[in-house]
Amino acid sequence: TLCTVLPVLATMMAVQRLGSAMASQIGMVGPVSTIVMSLLILGEPMGPWQIAGTVLVMIGVFVVTRPVK
């Protein structure tokens, strides 16, 4: 279906343009954006586990994407 084809196509285009390493790192932010959108759009509460998970994911993405000295 269209809901399956479009995300896969977008992922393949991202891998082609950014490279697999960067595309996978950016993909790790997907669950975080889902949590934020559910908070803003649906008004769902954000508990301590969601906050902790969000912080851990963002720290992980930062650590992996920072330039090597």
For the stretch 31-67, pLDDT in tens is: 888 888 999 999 999 899 988 988 998 898 788 778 8
* pLDDT at residue 54, rounded to an integer: 84
The rounded distance, in Å, linking the Cα atoms of 18 and 61 is 15
Task: Give the count of domains, the chain.
Answer: 1
Question: What confidence tier does 25 reach under pLDDT thresholds 50, 70, 90?
Answer: confident
**What is the span of the domain harbouring residue 27?**
2-65
Amino acid residing at 20:
S
List Cα–Cα distances, 20 to 9, 11, 30, in angstroms. Answer: 14, 10, 16
Arithmetic mean of pLDDT, 13-18: 94
